Structure 1
């Protein structure tokens, strides 16, 4: 466990259109789907990532921040 505070906001960047949106991350579950507000693409985690925040966000999800374990949700 880290002494750093858990960050609850992450800026997602769509790989299709580049649109960026800052979102509040859930603390009790991983978010597997995200609808891009720019182009409407449905984002899913990249292989090996637990959620869209770990794949497309500038801050990983709270469980990863806390434990560093990429299998936190699976």
Structure 2
């Protein structure tokens, strides 16, 4: 499978059940709510983080890098 240049992948890990899901993050996109597919807990981004990818993901959403480049 070829990964598009304009996207990232991150693995979200639920802090409650440790369930994981790998998601594709299009550049410039942030998500503030996420429902864990294992335990149905709704995760919200932590204070100071821009999104759930930065709070619970294996890779940041990179919005900070894009803002610096602008």
**TM tier, shorter chain?**
0.7 to 0.9
Segments of 5+ residues of structure 1 without an aligned counterpart are: 70-74
* Cα pair 2:29 2:61 within 8 Å, conserved: no
Residue 49 of structure 2 corresponds to 49
TM-score normalised according to structure 1 size: 0.74
Inter-partner Cα distance in structure 2 for 1:68 and 1:57 = 20
Structure-to-structure mapping, 1:1-74, within 5 angstroms: 8-64=8-64, 66-67=65-66
Q: Structure 2: where are the runs of 5+ without partners?
A: none
What SS does the aligned partner of 1:8 have?
strand
Q: Deviations over 1:21-66 (max 9, x none)?
A: 10011323310011101100111101000000000001000313x2
| Deviant stretches of 4+, over 3 Å | none
